A = this chain, B = another copy of it.
């Protein structure tokens, strides 16, 4: 097996160049154009071996796909279209070349599906592998999505189902336990975990509805709502019966677990958006899909989950609760 230490830095760089935008590599930095009148959006992420990925749950192709998807999702969360990403990589000398190749193929395939590319980076050795990605995007100032601008009465909209990625992880961690589940369901959940889709596709659909407040649900649906409320200095009411629970999750978990994964699972990379109720309803009417209103922004600075089927059931969602779940 060909290892990184056998290749040498120059050969490794030569091979990795094949994955980078050809006109942008070879100088101390990459030069990019930001379109006139657009603002630059920048987001950075670091993924470390044995913390964010391991060979047990994620093949290198998927590590690459997911790390890019997470960064492109940060752009989508700001309303920004991608300009490119930089990749700084620390590799153990014992890493097989095949691992690195698959990592870059995964990154590249994800980037390609969103018409963008690697524009620069760095390569170094280290005891453990680590991937640092910086995503660059551009946004029209009036289409910028921030967390801090939610208004009392805004509807809270989610752009798709949550908890699927968490359910997929569960199957990967305990395949024996779920071997009786049909292959199609297993595949769908595993794919949700390994090849999540950043919601850049939604940005053009949002054009008529700005200003919009929001972020992505990369750290979970509940976390996103709490973050938006904290940054906006507001609260929220979330209605449990309005939160869709994917039927695939209910095939592998009871309702209580499914609700927990849906609220706290993370890595679904949907958008959580706040906008006036009328506009929210228009958005949903025009966008025939899984976009749903699940609650509203309130004056009182707490986030409560309300179960309409049970009288007087109010459950307070807090960040410490989120942490206690994982």
Give the B-binding residues of A (Cβ under 8 A): 10, 26-34, 36, 39-48, 50-52, 73-75, 77-78, 80, 83-84, 86-90, 119-128, 130, 132, 134-137, 139, 144, 146-148, 215-216, 231, 319
Q: Give chain B residues whose Cβ lies under 8 Å from the Cβ of A148.
A: 26-27
The CA of A323 and the CA of B59, in the complex, are separated in Å by 34
Would you call A51 and B147 a contact (CB within 8 A)?
A: no
Known interface pairs A31-B40, A126-B128, A127-B128. Does A147 touch B46 (Cβ–Cβ under 8 Å)? no
Would you call B28 and A42 a contact (CB within 8 A)?
A: no
Known interface pairs A90-B48, A147-B27. Does A120 touch B78 (Cβ–Cβ under 8 Å)? no
Would you call A44 and B127 a contact (CB within 8 A)?
A: no
- How many chain copies does the complex carry? 2
Q: Give chain B residues whose Cβ lies under 8 Å from the Cβ of A90.
A: 46, 48, 51, 130
Q: Give chain B residues whose Cβ lies under 8 Å from the Cβ of A45.
A: 88, 122
The CA of A147 and the CA of B26, in the complex, are separated in Å by 8
Known interface pairs A27-B215, A88-B132. Does A42 touch B32 (Cβ–Cβ under 8 Å)? yes
Q: Give chain B residues whose Cβ lies under 8 Å from the Cβ of A40.
A: 31-34, 40, 83, 136
